[in-house]
Amino acid sequence: MPASKKMLDDLALSDGEYEAIVERLGREPNELELGLFGSLWSEHCGYKHSKPLLRMFSASSPRVLVAPGEENAGVVDIGDSLAIVMKIESHNHPSAIEPYQGAATGVGGIVRDIFAMGARPIALLNSLRFGPLTDPSNRYLLEGVVAGISGYGNCIGVPNVGGEIVFSRSYAGNPLVNAMCVGLLEAGSMVQATTGSAGNLLMLVGADTGRDGIHGASGLASRTFEDERELRPTVQVGNPFLEKVLIEACLEAARNEHVVGVQDLGAAGLTSAAVEAASKGGTGIELDVSQVPRRDIGMAPYEVMLSESQERMLVIVKDGRQDEIKAIFDKWDLDSTVIGRATDDGLARIYENGTLHAEAPVGLLIDAPQYRPSAVQSQFVAELQQYDLDSVPLPEEGAEAVLLRLLASHNIASKLWVYRQYDHQVQTNTAEGPGGDAAVLRIKGTSKGIALATDGNGRLCFLDPLVGGMIAVAEACRNVACTGAVPIALTDCLNFGNPERPDVYYQLEQAVIGIAKASEAFSAPVISGNVSLYNESHGDAIYPTPVIGALGLLEDVEQHVGVGFTRPGDLVVLLGAEQIADDAATLAGSEYLDLIHDLVAGRPNIDLDLEMSLQRACVSLVREGVIRSAHDCSDGGLAVAIAECCIAGDTGFEGEIATSGRWDVVLFGEAQSRIVVTLSPDRLSALKEICRAEGVPWTELGRTGGDTLRLEGLIDLPMEKIDDAWRNALERAVTASRA
């Protein structure tokens, strides 16, 4: 019988998509079959509005070992017979409903993507967005998400080494929770997510299956929020202690030659895991859901197939070798059950106790429709781009007061309250932990290290998604370059509103173009990622927020530098600027403009050629031992960057910056492609030589030392006051409601 409107609505399938299913299947699908299609054709699994755009990303680097999209995560060669596996993924909608479990299971899911490929997870990062902390509901979300990330990550023994947190009214109804995981893979040990050949057995390993998470992919993550849907029981519940055991057991099993493939059960659960593995293997599948261990009684085949219960893996085993593989999981006290086999007819058949409940071609199930809707820039944004920033008045309060307010802004202030809840030293690889531009990890057994960072700026992408996409890549790469690492690969999470709206699709399309251009320019391919659409509540979309995770490679991990001014008497130099410009255009989308003037306007800009030269120069300066510290100049502008360096090194600064009128632009404008570095005065000639070779302008700012931050005629503040404003603002805001 034809599907009801409610069922199509639950599965986020349109009438046209249902008609296409009927036509291509040659009949009306039954309830279970429609559930399979609804999950696999969902935005979350099928990438209906983004797949045509993602083809713009190039992965031509010789370091890339797996083409993007072919496996659970991207793989990039770092030499010494080692590779890095990495991916970032969203868990936005579940975290908005139940922040602790939403964030916790987001961590669990991204970790499974990594060890499913035979890689040991070695680092976690995150990128978070919330509404203003003046609203108690946003404080509740922040506390719950942070607790979920720490509660899960700390238990599984993977260090949480970095990330970012941004607050804006744009995210008040729809927070963003993006989790990134990095794994280390030895040559020849990669496992694919495939059924292999016909006859191989499908073994379900890990937790029992319950009713949690049903319609998570098709409903919760593939449409906008509506009040009556927010309380649906679609949020999964995690068990990090089980996941820790699952990591070790699966890594051991992956080394066995009789394991053909491994796939995690994430979005759409068993449906996605089994059908996508069959598609990659070019086979069909037969599953008997009566063999699936369950923790809830009376579950129908529909519920078993669509459940998103956590800590479950699908392991494909050669026929006749199942007892040998089962013995591995028995040793780790994990349930493992053969639930089906790969077939040679290309069909997905679902049985229960011998009764056929669903039958559909694998190729049809994974062939979701693709859309390229009209893309039109919002007239409102076009007008904001033309805003006359020269007309913005100078603040009455003066430069010192503005600097203190910016340092206390929740977007700039210390995130210590957050990351001190994370274990970032477990596994003992962390050379630079949270709080700097990028985390640095040593690769044991080698001299190498890797640098990791996540970055994104929704305000800039709102004003110009093309340039904002380029800046997101540039800043993520700049952050790893500041440690001395060469950016070699990217992973992205594209967080946008409803793509069926022309203005939102314009944002998505332009941002992807920008990311693709910058990625190619930096020779840092996008090797993996995730798209999270329909991030809206009550008709309002979030800022377009592409988040970039960057991986940098250090040939000698001991040569990395941090952000802090480390020694009194060092020269402080700004790379990327021959003189300090006071062009008001650099206020576009800045933290200063938003915080002080309650205005988001202007048109951001970046020179990619200068940016590439700047990063090459910085890496060379670190490698040659010329500079002692490096910090990128971004949110808050130059004055904030200097203050952050002073705080990190517990050392003051004295210098002079010439202005021709607009001190707010000079101090707080956010021109791109700038890095603040320190060096011994006797190394200045070496800096000049490297900068000249790369064509990078520079200007001397002053010297480190003392217990004040002093810019002649503009700022003279004791370090104690600066430190207090920056260090305690976020924690005060979070804990204020408890007093």
pLDDT of residue 229: 44
44 is catalytic: yes
Could you give the CA distance from residue 53 to residue 48 in angstroms, rounded to a whole number?
10
The answer to the question of residue 131 being in a domain is no
Q: How many domains does the chain have?
A: 2
Q: How far apart are the C-alpha atoms of 325 and 350, rounded to whole Å?
A: 24
154 located within any domain: no
91 is catalytic: yes
Q: Given CA atoms 199, 204, 210, 212 in this order, what sign does their dihedral have? A: negative
Please pick, among 91, 215, 410, 631, the residue that the annotation labels catalytic.
Answer: 91
Residue-level pLDDT at 249: 97
At residue 648, does pLDDT exceed 70? yes
From residue 536, alpha-carbon distances to 217, 532, 570 in Å are 16, 11, 49
> What proportion of the chain, given as a percentage, has pLDDT over 70?
96
| Domain boundary residue, one of 368, 384, 401 | 368
Which tens digit of pLDDT belongs to each residue from 80-89? 999 999 999 9
Could you list the beta-strand ranges (E) of 141-292. 160-167, 176-186, 201-206, 259-264, 284-288
Query: For residue 5, what are the domain limits?
Result: 1-41+191-368
pLDDT digits (tens, 9 = 90+) for 196-245: 999 999 999 999 999 887 875 545 555 565 543 444 455 778 899 999 99
For residue 423, being part of any structural domain is answered with no
Boundary residue ending a domain (314, 340, 368): 368
Last residue of a domain, one of 368, 400, 426: 368
pLDDT in tens, 299-321: 999 999 999 999 999 999 999 99
Tell me 210's DSSP state: -
Q: Give 672-720 pLDDT, tens digit per residue.
A: 999 999 999 999 999 999 999 999 999 999 999 999 999 998 999 999 9
Whether residue 414 has pLDDT greater than 80: yes
According to the model, what pLDDT value does residue 204 have?
A: 98
pLDDT for residue 70 is more than 80: yes
The mean pLDDT value for 99-118 works out to 96
Asked if residue 724 belongs to a domain, the reply is yes
Overall average pLDDT of the 285-297 stretch: 95
Q: Running DSSP on this structure, what letter comes out for residue 404?
A: H
Q: Is 253 part of a structural domain of the chain?
A: yes
Which CATH number does the domain housing residue 624 bear?
Answer: 3.90.650.10
**What confidence score (pLDDT) does residue 228 get?**
36
3-class state of residue 412 by DSSP: coil
Q: What pLDDT does 60 receive?
A: 80
Please give the pLDDT value at position 659. 78
Closest alpha carbon to 533 in 491, 498, 492: 498
212 belongs to a structural domain: yes
Domain contains 483: no
Of 97, 126, 96, nearest to 109 by C-alpha is 126
The answer to whether residue 375 is domain-embedded is no
pLDDT score for 410: 97
Q: What is the pLDDT of residues 458-468, one digit of tens each?
A: 999 999 999 99
pTM over 0.85, yes/no: yes
Please give the structure tokens belonging to residue 231. Answer: 């309380």
Decide if pLDDT at 255 tops 90. Answer: yes
